[in-house]
Structure formats: C-alpha cells, structure tokens
C-alpha cells in the first residue's frame, strides 16, 4: 500500500468547464463531500486561480475569498489549497487567501517563466504557510531536461513539493516515466496534474504513481479545462483495484459522480462537453493550454475560419494561458486572409 495524496481540483480547474460559474451552494455541498470521504486536499477558486476573474479570462460567480471561506468552514482533516499564478495574482491576493484559511498555496506559472514565482514562495515561507511549485505547460521545459536545473535552483528557496502540470495534455506515458524517474533521483516530493486531450490522463497518472509521484490532481467526472482532468472516481477505483491504497470507499465516489450533474443543473449551471474532441486533440498536439479549446471554437465560428488553423497558428506562436485575446486576433487575420 502507498500513501498517495489525493488533491481534488473539481472546484478550481472544474470551474473552466462551467465558465467559472460554480456557485456557493456547490462549494458548500462538495466541500462537505470531500471532508466526509477523506480527500486529502481540496482546491477552490477561479479556474485560473487567485486574481484571475476578469472579462477577458472569465468572471467568477463566487470570489476567491468567498470560495475559501465557504469551503474552510466544512473542512477539518481535509486541507484547503488555492492556485496562484503571479501576474494574475498579487501578494495581496496571497495574503487574503492565507488570512481566509488556505493551508497550501500552489504557486504556478508557465514553465518558461519560472523566475516570477520567487516573491510569492518567499512570502509564504516568511508567513510559515506551505507552498508548492506548479510547473504549468510542463512540456516547455521537458524536451531539453531544463526542469532538472530549475528544480535544483528552486530547492534552495526551501521548496519541497513540485507538481508537473500537463496543461496541454500533450505528454504520453513514456514521457511520464522519464520525468518522474528523474524527479525521484532529485529527492523531492512530486505530483502530477493531467489533462485528457490525447486520452492519456488516467494512464499518465498511474504511471506517475508507479514512478514515485506522491500527489495526484483529480476532478469528479474529469471536470476541468478543455478535455478535462484526470477523473477522480476512476483513479479511486483503480487505486483500490491495483491494491495501491484502500483508504477510500469507492461507492461514495460513484454516487457523487452521478449526483454532480444534477447539482449543476439545480444551480442552473450547464457544462460543455469536457471529453476529448478534435479541437482538444489539436490543442494538445500543438502544446496549447487546454482552456483555449472553447475560445478557439468560439472564434472559429465567429470569423468563419477553421478552428484547426487557429490552433496551429497559436501553437506556432506558443501562446500561453491568459493570452486569450490573441486567439481572436489570429482568427480575425485568418478571416481577412481568406477574403483576399
């Protein structure tokens, strides 16, 4: 048996699947479920984390502060985490999250911009709050093994936990094997956050566990950006079936999986198809943030151009999360070009 830490991101990454409209009632219901069913960590907030609610990215129905407060009152053994991307978030946002009860600050950034996390990490260290480094768009520093030197440098700041976030859903099981075998040699606590663009989220998660990952990010029914996250109830069932851990009552997770749709509908929230589709496959292969899928579809229809052309050009430009407005520019330019 292994001591695998389950980090449930349903109420944060799952917000992408419903245009950031998760309500106070849903946070209240789901946080009670997480506590009752021994979820180790529950993450809440806007899909892009602290400070990200905006017209461009999407307005959240519930503020990050209120999300934290509502969840915290229902959690005793389950820890509460938030996602913080410097640039979207400020030190004031981090301070507010800590003051309202966040136990873990997961400081993330696109892997090519890793230098910008230092201030928030040091702030958490000064205030004796646990902080993790989340490598978003991990594939950007995977091919040249840059992550090895990056982790060695970040360890000097006192960071002990590193999360590999496959934001594009582009990694395959053999990639995961290489990555986590190397991370194990670096003697750090490692975790994996998968997306299902190429249909490998579950396989990648199991491979990460087999190769030493201690933490896995999961969401009920796979709710998350684009093609969705690794499916919580599926992994819980597999962990029991493979005799990796016997900590959870699988039937309770099955029940919540069935119940969650009804909870959304009763709150007048209707989600889009989170499962992998041609656009999500295309964004995955192009190494794009999974949350771009819905915007690419929207702009393709608005400007009457191929969403796959938008995806290809965005991939060439290596657009990152938060650059949603540039997708519209690409679509607009393609439209003008097609009329010439």
Backbone angles phi, psi at 273, to 5 degrees: -65, 115
Number of helices (H) and strands (E) in the chain: give both, helices first: 13, 8
Task: Tally the residues of the chain.
Answer: 340
**Alpha helix (H) residue ranges in the chain:** 24-36, 64-72, 91-99, 118-126, 146-155, 173-185, 201-210, 232-241, 250-266, 278-285, 292-303, 307-317, 324-339
Cβ contact 12:47 at 8 Å: yes
User: For residue 20, what is the DSSP state?
Assistant: T
Q: CA-CA distance, 340 to 256, in Å (whole number)?
A: 53
> Any bridge partners for residue 82, and if so which?
105
Q: CA-CA distance, 56 to 104, in Å (whole number)?
A: 27
Q: CA-CA distance, 4 to 205, in Å (whole number)?
A: 11
Q: Which residues contact 6 (CB under 8 A, 6 or more apart)?
A: 39, 40, 41, 216, 218, 232, 236, 248
Name the active-site residue from 16, 20, 83, 139: 16
Within 13 Å, how many C-alpha atoms sit on residue 154's CB side?
A: 31
Tokens 């985490």 -> residue: 81
Q: What SS3 state is found at 310?
A: helix
Q: What SS3 state is found at 97?
A: helix
Can you spell out the DSSP letters for 95-118? HHHHHTT-SEEEEEEEGGGGGGGH
Q: How many CB atoms lie under 10 A from the CB of residue 237?
A: 16
Q: How many CB atoms lie under 10 A from the CB of residue 128?
A: 7
Q: Active site includes 16?
A: yes
The pair of three-digit structure tokens given for residue 117, joined into one six-digit string = 């996390």
Which sequence positions are flagged as catalytic?
Answer: 16
């Amino acid at each position: 048996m292994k001591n695998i830490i389950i980090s449930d991101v349903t109420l944060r990454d799952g917000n992408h699947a419903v245009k950031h409209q998760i309500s106070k009632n849903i946070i209240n219901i789901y946080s009670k479920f997480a506590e009752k069913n021994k979820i180790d960590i529950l993450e809440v907030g806007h899909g892009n984390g602290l400070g990200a609610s905006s017209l461009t990215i999407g307005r959240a129905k519930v503020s990050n502060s209120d999300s934290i407060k509502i969840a915290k009152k229902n959690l005793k053994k389950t820890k509460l985490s938030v996602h913080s991307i410097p640039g979207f978030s400020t030190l004031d946002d981090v301070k507010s999250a800590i003051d309202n009860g966040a136990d873990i600050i997961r400081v993330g950034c696109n892997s090519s911009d890793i230098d910008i996390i230092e201030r928030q990490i040091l702030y958490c260290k000064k205030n004796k709050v646990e902080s993790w480094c989340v490598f978003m768009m991990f594939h950007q520093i995977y091919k040249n093994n840059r992550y090895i030197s990056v982790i060695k440098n970040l360890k000097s700041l006192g960071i002990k936990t590193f999360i590999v976030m496959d934001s594009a859903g582009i990694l395959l099981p053999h990639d995961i094997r290489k990555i986590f075998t190397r991370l194990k040699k670096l003697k750090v606590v490692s975790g994996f956050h998968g997306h299902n663009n190429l249909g490998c989220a579950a396989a990648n998660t199991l491979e990460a566990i087999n190769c030493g990952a201690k933490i896995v990010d999961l969401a009920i029914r796979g709710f998350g950006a684009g093609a969705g996250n690794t499916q919580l109830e599926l992994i819980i069932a597999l962990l029991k079936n493979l005799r990796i851990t016997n900590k959870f009552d699988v039937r309770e997770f099955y029940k919540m999986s069935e119940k969650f749709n009804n909870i959304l509908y009763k709150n007048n929230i209707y989600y889009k198809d989170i499962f992998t589709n041609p656009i999500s496959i295309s964004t995955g292969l192009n190494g794009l943030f999974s949350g771009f899928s819905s915007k690419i579809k929207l702009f393709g229809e608005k400007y009457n151009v191929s969403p796959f052309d938008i995806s290809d050009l965005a991939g060439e430009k290596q657009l990152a999360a938060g650059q949603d407005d540039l997708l519209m520019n690409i679509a607009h330019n393609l439209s003008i070009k097609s009329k010439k």
